[in-house]
Structure 1
Amino acid sequence: MGRLDDKVALITGASRGQGREMAELFVRENATAVYSADVLDAADADTSEVTFLTMDVTKSDQWKTVVGQIVAEHGRIDILINNAAICLYEPILDTTDEIYDRVLDVDLKSIFYGMKTVLPHMVSAKKGSIVNVSSIWGLAGVPNSYAYQAAKGAILNVSKNVAATHGPDGVRCNSLHPGYILSPMNEHQAPEINAALIAGTVLGRPGNAIETAYAALFLASDEASYVTGTSLVVDGGYLAP
């Protein structure tokens, strides 16, 4: 308890799944305020201490409105977790312009908008932690899912870019790379894909959303004060062999 004392956090895609676990964990760790920004409605919102805001992460004006509201209420944003994402499975030859644009908008352009909107406040405060949620498919090749992999691979380098650019300003930026985590995002994934992902881990099981949340907590907290520009993998050892 208390690992996020006096911190104000904004997490995208936190109405459910990994993002929701992050938000609820951050509340338990005594953050001053935790905001979820999502296009989806959150279940059990009335029993949660998370503040749920409706936001389309692909719209820069909505980012400005939400960030402006948080800064007006608290004077700062200490933590930004860019977690919102979608996954489609088409290989490159079946990837249409519409599929590519949609996935890149949600999974990558949203991170550009988020960091560009929040960074001035962090730079002004001379402190801040940004965690951009990528995937193991941002580190290794996989058949199909061309647009998804394009976005997740880019997240690694844009995180390093911001870390290098704004480290002197006191801002840290890291990427988080989950493997197969049980969550609503992949509940409709083909069973054979799930079985192969589990078989490929050295721990022999899927991950749970709370395990990703604890990794995000570490990167967001002052415990990681000397960690920036890195890529933290949470995959049960899938990439270890």
Structure 2
Amino acid sequence: MSFQVKKRPAGDCLLIKGGKVVNDDQSFYADVYIEDGTIRQIGENLIIPSGVKTLDAYGHLVIPGGVDANTNLQAPQKGLIPCDDFYQGTKAALSGGTTTIIDHVLVEPGTSLLSAFDLWKETAEQRACCDFSFHLDVTRWHEGLYEELETLVKDKGVNSFLFFMAYKDRYQSSDSQVKHRNMFFFMRRLGSSGILDGLKWFVFQEQKKLLSVGITGPEGHVLSHPEEVK
């Protein structure tokens, strides 16, 4: 994931005063001073520049911004374009306290991963109201795929990919054990490049097995995510 942070005006300062700060380990009443988008001070009787914009937070909680790690604000869904695009979707996210999204880049068959990534990034930079990052959904194997993945990791800073490939040719086999072994070799090679993969393909295979034997309850979630996938 290569996080993109929205540019903020230099000298943009804010004092959030009197709220209850909620961290992962404790909650306490304090003032929060923010400068250029970064929290600089937390406490009482802070020494800050004059003329700083002050937000009265008495009676309110001051919590970290949320991260939505699974959005689809540009990819077509069953032939339909989402009405909540990067602008509308992130505007709504900010209204609910979500300050970062991780959007899925749908790489259509025959499309370069690099081209798809650049299109999503350019659109998000122009339209998104909050910070953003991407997962790349890889749907087909093609020659040069591994080289593109390496470029995305080393030059673009991306490290999150979800593979929904058909696994034809070098990974397709009528023998399920051979198919799994070939895919593990592929994933191991990706892992050596620092790529974090969702391994959705393996999860789908486990889900099919469980459904075929009648396991449809919540226990199926744990069983379909074996230790090897984690």
> Does the TM-score normalized on the shorter chain lie above 0.5?
no
How does the TM-score come out when normalised to structure 1? 0.37
Higher strand share: 2
Q: For the pair shown, which has the larger CA radius of gyration, 1 or 2?
A: 2
Question: Which of the pair has the greater relative contact order for Cα pairs under 8 Å at 6+ separation?
Answer: 1
Higher helix share: 1
